[in-house]
Amino acid sequence: MIITRLRLRAYTAIGEVGVTIPFSKGLVLLRAEGAGGKSNCLLAILYALGLDGMLGPSKAVPLKHAMTDFVDVDGEEVPVISSEVMLEIQDAAGRFITVLRSVKGNRSRDLVTVWEGEHLEDTESASVPSRDFFVRVPGAVTNAAGFHQYLASFFGWKLPGVLTYGGETVPLYMESIFPLLFVEQVRGWSAIEGIYPTHFRIRDPGTRAVEFILALGIRDLAARRALLERDMESVRVSWTQSARQVDAVARNLGAVVHGLPNAPVAEWPTSAPPRLLVSAGENWEPIDALIATLESELAEKSREPARTTAEVAPQLEADLREAERRVRTVEAWLSGVFNDIELLELEITRTEERIRALADDLTRNKDALRLKKLGSTRALAITSDRCPTCHQSVELALLPEVRAAEASPMTLEDNVRYLEDQRDMFQLVLAQTQDSLSAKLRQSTAGGEELARARATVRDLRAALVAHPLTTSKESVAEIVRLEARIDALKRGVRLAQEYTNEFTVLAERWADLQARLAELPEDSISAEDAAKLGALQSSFTEQLVEYGLTSVEPHAIVIPRDSLRPEYKGFDLQFDLAGSDATRATWAYRNAFLEVARTHATNHPGFLIIDEPQQQHPSLESFGALLRRVSRSERHDQQVIISTNEKVSDLRALLEGHSYTLLDYGDERMMRLVSRTERPV
């Protein structure tokens, strides 16, 4: 894509004020003095394309006051009534479009008009068809009437879906791509790789933009992997929720769930299907067995004929003694369970304290190891023969006769490994103890319910014994009612648990499918073509660093890793290792490297680069000249590089002698000038 013409117009009471700038292929130098308005013109390109969202979420116009408030005309500040930007661009096939977007006036800034042809030559002509689109509003990149959907199609782009921090899939907005193509003066020099908008909440927008611009297959693979991992996380959450529902049902029944995996599995039911177990004293038995026992008791009770209190008195007395014995037995057993719970809680507290102590020790040893690797030779508290708290001398060995030199203490590396093993072991102990505590708590719940039933039986039996001897005994009837109620409650709970358990069948099938699809993805996530593109990017980047005279670090030690695709030096962000002028040189090299890769490989790069005021942090004139000569090659490849500068014309001509370029010099005057005057009434 080539920018062919830009027109800015501000309409005032005394006439039209503005500028029309013709651009060409290759290197275009837009020269004016500091306050001439060149940065405003470059921002107008961004604004016309509806890409001002690249600068942040604000919908305020990013252009200067000459387009929004007042404009200087012959030393007089004249209020702006309305203003607009028109931009003419050409694609690789030679097609032109002209874009109009209002800045100030009655027309909405969210409305864009597009003429499908060259319209700046004759703006009054009706022969060029036009269409209206919306921009900077929801749907601008997804709807047919959205300008960025149209613009992406004009560029030949198919914007991929990317993940947000909320787990949603959204298009890779054009505002998240253009920091690689447009280095604006305010924010563009803050980071070598560019400052990407964060209000879209896209994960790693810089990496996603590079993957798209280079048309890396790794982008599609990463997106597929990310979507699969998102779906797998959704299954994990659903599995956990269903497991909690089954567990809640079990708690209400005084039971535990045995054999239910905590995490999703691909085969369901498992070889040992999950079961509900209820406490039977010290042991646990399947809930089905308890229901069968209770149903047997109910059948036996139901067959017994009705008798008077006098007739059943001996049996009632025997039953009362048995019930009281049962109460004492359950109370004694519950007391033991509560003692076990106290011991387990104490053990958990001690284990957690031990894990925290190990974590502190591990942190200190890792810090010491890091200092050692960095070359520190200072004595460390963990290896000193003085107490780090009271600073008194301590023996380095348990036995006085063993000298420190003979004790062969572990190295820092050994300490770290040992402490990590200890931490892992105690974390396992903690998990097992917590499981034991959970089981004991379930036993205490079940025991409490059993004790309540036993005490209720004692009360009923005592009441039956003091009833009139000739009345029908109510104890047998009450026992039948209790048995029926408990059996009904247990069966309802089992049915409810089964309903929740059935959900695991669907989740297991989904989990198996996701695992199979994830396994189908290649382990090596980069193709030969991707490797060639990244190799070309690294080669161009390094070559330019040398050519531009970067000296803060060894240029060949700066790499562009495959995971982040951002320049790094020894594993750290390059920005922090460079002097200011070298950071500027690295920014030139990084942005231009993508343009150069597009000359030899199939990419999504549109073929243009805009750099506003590249002499940030004052790199040498020789370095600036090396940049200009390097990017002047773009004309041979039908590409375009637009650079704004205030360097002297004589210096620019000297730096580019023998090279092809276009110089648009506006001198020391303002670029926005009076175009036509409206006669003022006398």
- Residue 296 inside a domain? The answer is no
Tell me how far apart the alpha carbons of residues 589 and 618 are, in angstroms, rounded to a whole number: 16
Which residues span the domain enclosing 405?
307-472
- On the question of pLDDT at 63 being above 60, the answer is yes
For residue 159, report the phi and psi dihedrals to the nearest 5 degrees. Answer: -70, 125
Closest to 545 (Cα-Cα) out of 669, 423, 630: 630
5 bridge partner residues:
22, 88
Distances (CA, A) of 52 to 45, 61, 98, 246: 9, 8, 18, 52
26 bridge partner residues:
640
- On the question of pLDDT at 622 being above 80, the answer is yes
Residues 180 and 53 in one domain: yes
- Residue 298 inside a domain? The answer is no
Q: Mean pLDDT, to the nearest integer, of 664-680?
A: 86
Share of the chain above pLDDT 90, in %: 50
Residues 84 and 16 in one domain: yes
Residues 327 and 354 in one domain: yes
Sheet holding 608-612, edge to edge: 182-183, 608-612, 640-645, 26-31, 662-665
Q: What is residue 109's predicted lDDT score, i.e. its pLDDT? A: 96
- Residue 598 inside a domain? The answer is yes
Residues 454 and 504 in one domain: no
Longest Cα–Cα distance of the chain, Å, equals 129
Residues 598 and 673 in one domain: yes
Distances (CA, A) of 292 to 221, 285, 299, 485: 56, 12, 11, 14
- Residue 284 inside a domain? The answer is no
Residues 269 and 202 in one domain: no
Q: Mean pLDDT, to the nearest integer, of 479-495?
A: 76
Residues 500 and 455 in one domain: no
Share of the chain above pLDDT 70, in %: 88
Residues 408 and 439 in one domain: yes
Q: Are 564 and 207 in contact (CB under 8 A)?
A: yes
- Residue 611 inside a domain? The answer is yes
Q: What is residue 536's predicted lDDT score, i.e. its pLDDT? A: 97
> Could you write out the DSSP letters of every residue in 15-30?
EEEEEEEE--SEEEEE
Q: Mean pLDDT, to the nearest integer, of 456-485?
A: 65
- Residue 283 inside a domain? The answer is no
Q: What is residue 24's predicted lDDT score, i.e. its pLDDT? A: 96
What CATH number is associated with residue 590?
3.40.50.300
Residues 27 and 137 in one domain: yes
What CATH number is associated with residue 468?
1.10.287
Out of 24-28, 152-156, 300-304, pick the least confident: 300-304
Residues 56 and 140 in one domain: yes
pLDDT digits (tens, 9 = 90+) for 266-313: 888 777 777 777 766 667 788 788 788 877 877 876 666 655 556 556
Q: Are 537 and 214 in contact (CB under 8 A)?
A: yes
- pLDDT-based confidence at 205, cuts 50/70/90? very high
pLDDT digits (tens, 9 = 90+) for 81-116: 999 999 999 999 999 999 999 999 999 999 999 999
Residues 459 and 499 in one domain: no
Tell me how far apart the alpha carbons of residues 660 and 631 are, in angstroms, rounded to a whole number: 10
The pTM (predicted TM-score) of the whole model is: 0.63
- Choose the final residue of a domain: 472, 491, 507: 472
User: What one-letter code names the amino acid at 532?
Assistant: A
Q: What is the DSSP letter of 108?
A: -
- The count of domains in the chain is 3
Token couple for 243: 């497991």
- Residue 286 inside a domain? The answer is no
Q: What is the DSSP letter of 56?
A: -
- Residue 45 inside a domain? The answer is yes
Token couple for 432: 């097992």
**Most confident range, picked from 367-371, 384-388, 452-456:** 367-371
Residues 510 and 415 in one domain: no
